[in-house]
Structure 1
Amino acid sequence: MMHRLLVLGLAFAATGSLAQSPAALGKVAEVEGVVTVSDGATLTTAKPGTVIQSGDRFLTASSGAARLTFENGCVVSLKPNETLTVSSNMTCQELLAAVQPVAAVAGVTSNTLLLVGAAGTAAAVAGRQGNSSGIAAAPISSQ
């Protein structure tokens, strides 16, 4: 009886962990230059074979380009200085329409945005790991 409960428990645990991992919507087929992908919590460099999941945001630098292939048969090509945020409920037409140019802001390039995004992610991680004193940081006032 105990053996049967253990087997059932392991089967349930395996099913539960599978249900929690987000479904793959597709993969990155090709990458040229610098292309980053962010899921909102992490920022990584896209490579061929990178799994595409709902909520992923792709950003090509001025030297970057990518071809994304989706499970629904859609193929999206990103040219330099373009961005795409993917959602699981998007049709192929919606994915293609969601490709947007990265707006240039007086002297700010997509490479600068990548560095700022990476620095922000690193700061957030360091802030979580670095404050082990148990003392809460005081909020910055708007005075």
Structure 2
Amino acid sequence: MGLNGSIPPDIGNLSFLVSLDLSWNRLHGGLPKDICIHNKLPRVKELQLSFNDLEGEIPLGLGECQQLEILDLLYNNFGGHVPREIGNITRLTKLDLHWNNLSGTIPKEIGHLSNLEFMDLGSNKLRIHPKRSREQSYTKTQGNLIQSQRENCVLFVFTF
């Protein structure tokens, strides 16, 4: 596409937006902190912003995007931690955050995503919480690969 610039805060005013794919551009700056707060983007099902130069922390407000099914933020420069509020997006089927600068512990709330079919958190500086319960959707297997206990679900997490 070749778009250059930042994502304006007014993006949340697009109340009828269902799918937003701004991948493979030269977008920079961060995501608006209030992207889904106060019923903004109430219908959005897909948020695909991969292969840009977005930075800052992943907004906690994404946890209020209740219709979101696909969250694709790979190949950016997001830093900080993976917000535990992502565990509130119960319709999420795909979560791809690999190739960012995320660090800290993978939140146990990700285990609440019962519809999740694909997750990739690789190529970040994430670690697994040492006290995982059986109820969570991931378990440690060979090396540093995390796999789901659910059928038909692929989860990739490579920790360093």
Shared fold, TM over 0.5: no
TM-score normalised by structure 2 residue count: 0.27
Report the TM-score, using the length of structure 1 for normalisation: 0.29
Structure with greater contact order relative to length (CA < 8 Å, sep ≥ 6) = 1
